[in-house]
A and B are shown apart, each in its own frame.
Chain A
Amino acid sequence: MRSDGRAVSTAVHYIMTLMVVSLLTSGLFVVTGDVVNSQRDQALRGGMEVVGNRVAADIAATDRLAATAGDNGDVVMKTRLPDDIAGETYQIRIEDTGSMGSYEIKVTNGGGGVSVTVPVRTQIPVETGIVHGGDIVIRYDTDTLVVEHA
């Protein structure tokens, strides 16, 4: 009788241990998984903001240089950008806001869930369009700034 009770106790103890460990482990996964995902989203957004600002800064810099270069001048600026941000591809869209010399750099991830917009103002018109992530080139091409894939 006494030895039966001891055997039951071992089995119950084992199952209990298994349950508690499983519970703790799955809890850990759920919580950290969420943390990782939210951190990843933040990193993605942060990365896209930086890329957008970088493109805007280089467009503005090319604009300033082109303004001093004159009609026969030539300016080509290469901007080194990551191929992906937080493991996601992205694209850069240049849009005309409609008001003179004012443009928006819209960076969108491949999934399309996150989008960041950075405004830029130039003296020389910028050609609107889309380029995919990775190194880009900003070129002063007869009175227009053109952004294209490097």
Chain B
Amino acid sequence: MADVTRERAQLLITSSFALAVLLIGIALVLNTAIYTENLATRDSDRGKDVLRLRDDVEAPISALIQHVNYNDTYDSYGHVNSEFAKELATVSDTVGKYGALDGNAVHVSAARTKGLRLEQTQKRTYTNASSGANWTLVDGGDDIEQIRHFQMEISRSGVASTCEPFMDCFYVTVANDSESWRMSAEKLSGNVFIKVEDSEGEHECGKYDEDVTVKITGEGIQQEPIEQATYEEEACKEAFRAVAGMDGPYEVTYANGDEIEGTYELSVATNSPLSTEDNFDDQPRLSWIVYDADVRVTYRTTDLYYESTFRVVPDEE
């Protein structure tokens, strides 16, 4: 009788042990499934913070270059550069602190390109500082490979009325070793007429009864002409696109600058002073600028390292 009792207990123990193993098996499978669910619901769009960071850095640095360049007139590059460095440190600190809140190490630095802004900010004739009417703003010998933001505000009242376009009227020439582009302004019956000449020939670029804004390295003339009849719209747009796409080294000259009035500016990238600097003084004047910046962004978390260098040029038009 005692033996029978022991055997019955053995069966029970074996069964319960096997059942326990089965339950553990089920628990393990459930555990795997739960882990899988956990893995599946983790953020799968990693790196979006980094892409946002790049945008968050690009726009402020572009604005920063603009702000520093236009905040003052600088007679040395060191001056504008130290202003820029000060502001950049603030941007880098701010970005770094915001990154640190999320446990990311973010760093921003920028290698700058030296540049000069040639400008006339007061309305006067387009003559040089010593009242010369035919003069060179940028000389081909200075090896200027980059020009941006070349624009003019032509005052209607100051445009000469009895002159021949590209002869004794005011005209600007942008040229390199192989190509040349010219724009002339004259006044007839109180209206300003703009003519452009490129490799395709001369084009009528409109008749205007107000002051004319021309973005030479950008989208061209900003106003709508008052008369469509003589306006060669496509050819004009193409001519402005051609000058914007022209390769360096550039030469920019004004002819008959005393036949026009208004303001203008252009920025060039250069390491050394221009050979034409004697043409500038109080008006027109030169100011050192930060032409552009190669911005380097690094972003580091435990699982991601990102480093990118990109060029920031404000208002490249």
Chain A residues with CB under 8 Å of chain B are 14, 18, 21-22, 25, 28-29, 32-33, 35-36, 39-40, 43-44, 46-47, 50-51, 53-54, 57-58, 61-62, 64-65, 68-70, 72-82, 85-87
| Chain B neighbourhood of A32, CB < 8 A | 22, 26
* CA distance in complex: A81, B38 (Å): 11
Q: Which of B8, B33, B307 contacts A46 (CB 8 A)?
A: B33
| Chain A neighbourhood of B15, CB < 8 A | 21, 25
27 A-B contacts, Cβ less than 8 Å apart? A14-B4, A18-B11, A21-B11, A21-B15, A25-B18, A28-B19, A39-B33, A46-B36, A53-B44, A54-B39, A64-B47, A65-B306, A68-B54, A68-B310, A69-B307, A69-B308, A70-B308, A70-B309, A73-B307, A74-B306, A76-B305, A77-B304, A80-B303, A82-B39, A85-B32, A85-B36, A86-B29
| Chain A neighbourhood of B85, CB < 8 A | none
**Distance between A69 CB and nearest chain B CB, rounded to angstroms:** 4
A38 — nearest CB in chain B belongs to which residue?
A: B29
Q: Judge whether B70 is part of the interface by a CB distance below 8 angstroms.
A: no
Q: Judge whether B35 is part of the interface by a CB distance below 8 angstroms.
A: yes
A150 — nearest CB in chain B belongs to which residue?
A: B303
| A75 with B305, Cβ < 8 A, contacts A43-B32, A86-B32 known | yes
Q: Is the CB of A65 within 8 A of B305?
A: no
* CA distance in complex: A14, B11 (Å): 13
**Distance between B164 CB and nearest chain A CB, rounded to angstroms:** 50
| A39 with B47, Cβ < 8 A, contacts A50-B36, A76-B304 known | no
A57 — nearest CB in chain B belongs to which residue?
A: B44
| Chain A neighbourhood of B51, CB < 8 A | 64-65, 68
* CA distance in complex: A61, B45 (Å): 7
| Chain B neighbourhood of A73, CB < 8 A | 306-309
| A78 with B28, Cβ < 8 A, contacts A25-B15, A53-B44, A68-B54 known | no
Binary flags per residue of B10-46, CB closer than 8 Å to A gives 1, else 0: 0100010011001001101100110110011010111
Which B267-317 residues have a C-beta within 8 angstroms of A?
302-310
Tally chain B residues at the interface, Cβ within 8 Å: 34
| Chain B neighbourhood of A44, CB < 8 A | 32
Chain B residues with CB under 8 Å of chain A are 4, 8, 11, 15, 18-19, 22, 25-26, 28-29, 32-33, 35-36, 39-40, 42, 44-47, 50-51, 54, 302-310
* CA distance in complex: A143, B25 (Å): 47
* CA distance in complex: A98, B28 (Å): 40
Q: Which 9 A-B pairs have the closest CB atoms?
A: A74-B307, A69-B308, A57-B44, A78-B303, A61-B47, A76-B305, A43-B32, A73-B308, A86-B32
* CA distance in complex: A69, B305 (Å): 11
* CA distance in complex: A57, B308 (Å): 21
| Chain B neighbourhood of A70, CB < 8 A | 308-310
| Chain B neighbourhood of A47, CB < 8 A | 32, 35-36, 39
Q: Is the CB of B303 within 8 A of A50?
A: no
| Chain B neighbourhood of A61, CB < 8 A | 45-47
Most buried by B among A18, A21, A58, A75: A75
Q: Is the CB of A87 within 8 A of B22?
A: no
Q: Is the CB of A29 within 8 A of B22?
A: yes
